[in-house]
């Protein structure tokens, strides 16, 4: 019905290319237009002004001879004021953009090592966008955005990179574990040294307490029992210690045997030996 009445409707975000007897005459904006076909006027085609996206996968090689697949996402649109150029000058817009993307990526990535490709992907995207903007503007297209959305090394390279990363992390973990073990050993040694030091202090205080107790006992016994001498008191102490020792040996559950002289005379001999040893030590020191 519209064609019979020579009326034409152009949708929103779309322009129509008008021709008269096969020659471009006008760009029709969205809306209703009168198009008398009897005068040779017709629509050659429609051109969308919406932002379109093209994903380009490009395989190339890095400077360190690693093959990678770079995925670039190109967002572009036709300009309304250059609709005739966009419609007539390019036969296949997507292939044209893809060719420029291939050219820029294969010129940029081989200059970089693999790690640098990941770090400088924004620079690669900017180079692609600048080249496309310069080339496609003369054809009536605007490059809205260019993104490097993925960088895929060869599967063997990815596995090797993961193994290198895992080995590095294991090495760090081993160093941390060794450092922790060293700290534990140092702290254990410090604790052992402190324990031995405190044990030595305890033994020294114990011996001092024994000496003080013996001295007080000898003095008290000499005062309370007239006619006794220090020698008598020490003999009695030795006898007491002798019987305490025998008691502990007899109560021991170990199977080892100890042979010692037994009897009052043996106690007298032991006391004499202790006194002689003390006297000889005193004489040597003098």
- Residue 280: band (very low, low, confident or very high) from pLDDT cuts 50, 70, 90: low
Does the residue 267 lie in any domain?
no
Domain boundaries, position 168: 155-248
Residues 116 and 188 in one domain: no
Within a domain: 36: yes
Please check whether residue 282 lies inside any domain of the structure: no
Structural domain includes residue 233: yes
Query: Token match 């003999």: residue?
Result: 235
279, pLDDT greater than 60: no
Distances (CA, A) of 243 to 228, 249, 265, 266: 22, 10, 14, 12
Instruction: For 172-215, write each residue's pLDDT tens digit.
Output: 888 888 888 888 888 888 888 888 888 888 888 877 777 677 67
Can you name the residues that pair with 42 across neighbouring β-strands? 19
Q: How far apart are CA 65 and CA 157, in angstroms?
A: 11
Q: Is the pLDDT of residue 118 over 60?
A: yes
Query: What CATH number is given to the structural domain containing 64?
Result: 3.30.479.30
Q: Which of 93, 128, 153 is the last residue of a domain?
A: 153
Is 1 within the bounds of a domain? no
Q: How many helices (H) and strands (E) does the chain have?
A: 7, 8
Domain closes at, from 135, 153, 171: 153
Q: Select the more confidently predicted residue: 183 or 258.
A: 183
234 and 179 part of one domain: yes
Q: Are residues 221 and 237 in the same domain?
A: yes
Q: What percent of the chain has pLDDT over 70?
A: 75
Q: Count of domains in the chain?
A: 3
Q: Which of 131, 153, 175 is the last residue of a domain?
A: 153
User: Mean of the per-residue pLDDT values for the chain?
Assistant: 80
Asked if residue 138 and residue 111 are part of one domain, the reply reads yes
pLDDT for 72 equals 92
Could you tell me if residue 263 is inside a domain? no
pLDDT at 197: 86
Instruction: Identify which has the larger pLDDT, 254 or 207.
Output: 207
102 and 178 co-located in one domain: no
Percent of the chain with pLDDT over 90: 10
């Amino acid at each position: 019905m519209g064609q019979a009445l020579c009326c034409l409707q152009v949708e929103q975000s779309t322009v129509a290319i008008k021709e008269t007897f096969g020659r471009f005459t006008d760009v029709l904006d969205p809306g209703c237009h009168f198009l008398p076909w009897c005068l040779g006027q017709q629509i050659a085609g429609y051109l969308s002004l919406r932002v379109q996206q093209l994903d380009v996968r490009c395989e190339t090689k890095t400077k360190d001879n690693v093959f990678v697949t770079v995925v670039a996402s190109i967002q572009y649109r036709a300009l309304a004021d250059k609709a005739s150029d966009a419609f007539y000058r390019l036969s296949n817009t997507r292939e044209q953009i893809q060719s420029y993307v291939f050219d820029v990526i294969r010129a940029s990535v081989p200059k970089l090592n693999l790690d640098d490709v990941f770090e400088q992907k924004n620079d690669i995207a900017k180079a692609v966008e600048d080249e496309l903007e310069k080339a496609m503007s003369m054809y009536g297209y605007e490059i809205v955005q260019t993104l490097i959305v993925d960088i895929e090394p060869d599967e063997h390279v990815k596995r090797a990179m993961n193994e290198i990363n895992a080995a590095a992390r294991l090495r760090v973990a081993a160093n941390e574990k060794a450092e922790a073990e060293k700290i534990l050993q140092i702290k254990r040694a410090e604790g052992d040294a402190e324990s031995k030091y405190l044990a030595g202090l305890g033994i020294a205080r114990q011996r001092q307490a024994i000496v003080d107790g013996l001295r007080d006992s000898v003095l008290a016994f000499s005062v309370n029992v007239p006619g006794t001498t220090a020698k008598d008191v020490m003999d009695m102490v030795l006898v007491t210690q002798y019987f305490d020792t025998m008691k502990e040996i007899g109560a021991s559950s170990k199977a080892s045997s100890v042979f010692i002289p037994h009897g009052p005379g043996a106690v007298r001999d032991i006391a004499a030996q202790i006194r002689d040893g003390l006297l000889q030590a005193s004489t040597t020191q003098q």
